Structure 1
């Protein structure tokens, strides 16, 4: 063989090796799914096996969860979708499908005689913002999917007609909202049995919801936001005291935003949710502070001390954020190295910092029953999505003839931005009710990526979402098995109230005594919370793993 031929062969071999490396970098070759319900996981498997990608699978999962988890999400709600488009250099995008306040909404709409009337923003159609999920499903299919929308909606339509069996989670959520469900005849008809919580195994059929999904399958977004369906929705809402209009529905649009991105150690990058989510900022701040603290080498109580203190400081800043289409969010200030270094350095190594010793921040509240899923396909496209109707079964109001239970996301706004707020005006105004505005949220679908690893995180849980995601991320950073990330015992601090909430059994008796000796006030919430779904792609090893929270009834799966 001549020298030139040998050189050519060597060059060809190098090119093939580079191509193999590039192919490996772009995708794992297998798909993985983690969802909170077996039916949703099965729907995604079918779509992937039909040639769909991760974005088509996300449509199928979302629509199926609208059927089997009416307490957590649905066509009457919204959510956040964090997307990864595969490539040697991946592209990340964030689809904001958060609900928007109706055009007639005003800052004092939940006040009477100068006082907040909480029930008005919780139950009934006045509590409902304009839904975003139907638009998001149409957007995902048209901009990122490989299959037509009707194919990805087909599993949910079939399931809505055939019915699904009531499980323990459904019974728990329906019990929590039993009184409100009973107060609405249509919700009681759809979701109760003889005005009581259905027994385990009871089959819930929703032909009206199937018809609504079918209208979307045939007409796309217009099957929900315009025409006969829109007229039915508006008529039902207004007859029951709501303020929706046809223009509100026709004018709804999702927002494509740049994800929040923050560099971490070891070539890792946090890719998470920007405002109107406050969760991504809290995660970035918490991880940045922990990088300055020896949390990995600390014994359990000391580690908990560090985590609680960074959460206290990150949550304090939440009240400064709001819908970026309406307010200027001080993201650069909140994520500035000098600022975060100062926060980390303010942590006493052994004693709790009373929240009263930190600068004040406005109080806030948020419903804690949402849903989350994650999916990655063989090419490396991935979705991490958190969806919500706010409280269990949302506003507990279902529009007759549609099968759609409405959200009560208006309750996530600051209902009284100027009157009874004892901590000042600025932060409350950032999240005050305004026409067309999206309420602030803690929903935090999250990726962490490096040249050798990719992981996704997310969970329902309202204000506790960032703390739950943080604890799982720490498990990932420590190299724990994937199944342990969503299973880790949970604790939480959110600046105010100045208390450490935790699940039963999170701390031993000795650990509780030590933490209390450091100045912490502990509160056992009496139940497990959250329902995290995670994925992991080992790029070097070419393997994917998925795990579903053992607290729920979800299922993880690997798909060839």
Structure 2
């Protein structure tokens, strides 16, 4: 993989980062031409095709996002599905509306802060990661219905038709999915084994995967919408299975689930307008903090070792704040004004020693309590009207909890592991947390999912990636690469590196650093660990207004596809002109 910013020639071509106190409004359609067509990038070619199919039928970007999300639930069951959740970042072009549809899972009513601890008060990883006890109440179905109803042009049944077809007719298993089935086989419930290990043999690459139960679930969902998933036959089967096999869900959990519409975090980096998700995603806060820290440091310097050192130290500090302060804003008073203030981030920047790495243990926590994957999926879409969607979806670990309620056909998530089972106890990604992210009924667990959009003088980028705790660092590096002029096909290839405060280690992909950079970072005191494999699966769509081109690129680390159709879809009217969306409120 190529090394990001090697030689830092970009420093000679572009100004250093600078943040405006108040971002300007995004460009309106009267100020810029419409895209010359439409583009979709997702983690699987068949899901990308589903989005293009809907756009060709006259749907808009929001319709396509529903179709792609549902198709990914069928063809990439390792990363997302009806039993999970996610964040859908939406931009509606005709009125410059930006919002986040928060379909994150929530803790069941009967959840307690100590539900995953043993008699000695220590976390039991098995409880929060495997089986239905590990599952939060799914949010993706409610989010898809909401997006289709409020923003879409086509009926839900039409949007789900490609996914239903893929589930019923089947599709060839790819090598990535075949390997994942073998890796997670021991975690599968009997209903899951019946689908992925028929006749006692795991499906192999090239075998046809048919998911009849999932097709039936999708049909009921297509006809009955939200009520047909959280109630009716699907809801009854899901609830019966969960309760029989050790879960604690109640019917009221399903009835009470609501998506939340949220205002995104928007800030300006030089002439670039960056739109990122708010809590319970930790990504938006981390982004603005890092950009402000780097702006204070006049990043990037001419020395590549020093540039990486500054980036790593910025990551260390924002992940420290993630652990100490962040949680569901409906349950926790997060001091956002302070965390995003220039005085605070300037102090963080000034605490970076250019001559040595700061051991994480030396950083004074701002919160007293701190003292005591490749899974997930992403899609990026721009339609011919300029509407766009960046969505990161998840069931957490590969195949989520490994549990499939009999007769439903989809895996339930294990997102309860994203809570802090105990202060400072690491989750599956090694992330720690404090009381801000402890388990409570109806609470949303903190997330690293960071779907985002960047709008600059000449165009727009829509991007995101899976990757657990590394999502934030991956999207940061990619965003900076876009701002500094990298082409989308080069952005997805860039070598990646990551620091998350604890453990106090810089994890980097093979080839991400030169030997001189490795030696230089170690001399500064950084502990380095080369990843055994490449990670992430970025999807990026770029509309270059100046060149009048569209690009859609899928990460070469995965099997996805980015495709562009250089013509307007049949429906050229401004789509999704539904009601204006209030910020941070629940919706059916």
Same fold (TM over 0.5): yes
Residue 189 to residue 419, structure 1, CA distance change in 2 (3 Å) = closer
* Count of paired positions: 531
**Residue in structure 1 matching 2:397, options 391, 395, 400:** 391
Provide, for residues 275-298 of structure 1, a one-character-per-residue CA deviation record: whole Å limited to 9, x for no partner: 001011111111121122243342
Provide, for residues 142-161 of structure 1, a one-character-per-residue CA deviation record: whole Å limited to 9, x for no partner: 00000000000000000000
Q: For the residues of structure 2 that align with 1:419 and 1:47, how far apart are their CA atoms?
A: 44
Instruction: Tell me the residue number matched to 1:179.
Output: 186
Q: The residue matched to 2:186 in structure 1 has which SS?
A: helix
**Residue in structure 1 matching 2:349, options 336, 344, 349:** 344
Give, in angstroms, the shift of residue 327 of structure 1. Answer: 1.1
Provide, for residues 141-199 of structure 1, a one-character-per-residue CA deviation record: whole Å limited to 9, x for no partner: 00000000000000000000011111122123223312112xx2111111234444421
Q: The residue matched to 2:32 in structure 1 has which SS?
A: helix
- 8 Å Cα contact 1:175/1:197 also seen in 2: yes
**Residue in structure 2 matching 1:382, options 374, 381, 388:** 388
The answer for unaligned runs of 5 or more in structure 2 is 1-26, 568-588
- 8 Å Cα contact 2:454/2:462 also seen in 1: yes
Give, in angstroms, the shift of residue 355 of structure 1. Answer: 1.3
Give, in angstroms, the shift of residue 28 of structure 1. Answer: 1.2
Provide, for residues 295-331 of structure 1, a one-character-per-residue CA deviation record: whole Å limited to 9, x for no partner: 3342322221121111111111102111111111221
Q: For the residues of structure 2 that align with 1:100 and 1:112, how far apart are their CA atoms?
A: 23
**Residue in structure 2 matching 1:209, options 208, 214, 222:** 214
**Residue in structure 1 matching 2:287, options 273, 283, 286:** 283
Instruction: Tell me the residue number matched to 2:302.
Output: 298
Q: Does 1:98 align with 2:104?
A: yes
Q: For the residues of structure 1 that align with 2:528 and 2:496, how far apart are their CA atoms?
A: 13
- 8 Å Cα contact 1:47/1:56 also seen in 2: yes
Q: The residue matched to 1:454 in structure 2 has which SS?
A: strand
Provide, for residues 357-378 of structure 1, a one-character-per-residue CA deviation record: whole Å limited to 9, x for no partner: 21136789xx652111100101
Q: For the residues of structure 2 that align with 1:196 and 1:529, how far apart are their CA atoms?
A: 28
> Structure 2 length as normaliser, TM-score?
0.87
Give, in angstroms, the shift of residue 202 of structure 1. Answer: 1.1
Residue 25 to residue 126, structure 1, CA distance change in 2 (3 Å) = same
Q: The residue matched to 1:534 in structure 2 has which SS?
A: strand
Q: CA RMSD in A?
A: 2.0
Give, in angstroms, the shift of residue 64 of structure 1. Answer: 0.3
Instruction: Tell me the residue number matched to 1:44.
Output: 51
Q: The residue matched to 2:203 in structure 1 has which SS?
A: coil
Residue 80 to residue 420, structure 1, CA distance change in 2 (3 Å) = closer
Give, in angstroms, the shift of residue 49 of structure 1. Answer: 0.2
Residue 419 to residue 43, structure 1, CA distance change in 2 (3 Å) = closer
Instruction: Tell me the residue number matched to 2:508.
Output: 502
Give, in angstroms, the shift of residue 21 of structure 1. Answer: 9.0
**Residue in structure 2 matching 1:307, options 298, 307, 311:** 311
Instruction: Tell me the residue number matched to 2:530.
Output: 524
The answer for unaligned runs of 5 or more in structure 1 is 1-19
Q: For the residues of structure 2 that align with 1:41 and 1:382, how far apart are their CA atoms?
A: 15
Q: Does 1:271 align with 2:275?
A: yes
Q: The residue matched to 1:501 in structure 2 has which SS?
A: strand
Q: How does 1:13-24 map to 2 (within 5 A)?
A: 22-23=29-30
Instruction: Tell me the residue number matched to 2:579.
Output: none
Query: For structure 1, which segment, 197-206 or 387-396, has the greater mean C-alpha deviation from structure 2 after superposition?
Result: 197-206
Give, in angstroms, the shift of residue 541 of structure 1. Answer: 2.9
Instruction: Tell me the residue number matched to 1:437.
Output: 443
Q: For the residues of structure 1 that align with 2:532 and 2:28, how far apart are their CA atoms?
A: 50
**Residue in structure 2 matching 1:25, options 27, 32, 40:** 32
Q: For the residues of structure 2 that align with 1:197 and 1:24, how far apart are their CA atoms?
A: 55
Q: For the residues of structure 1 that align with 2:235 and 2:340, how far apart are their CA atoms?
A: 42
Q: How does 1:153-172 map to 2 (within 5 A)?
A: 153-172=160-179
Instruction: Tell me the residue number matched to 2:583.
Output: none
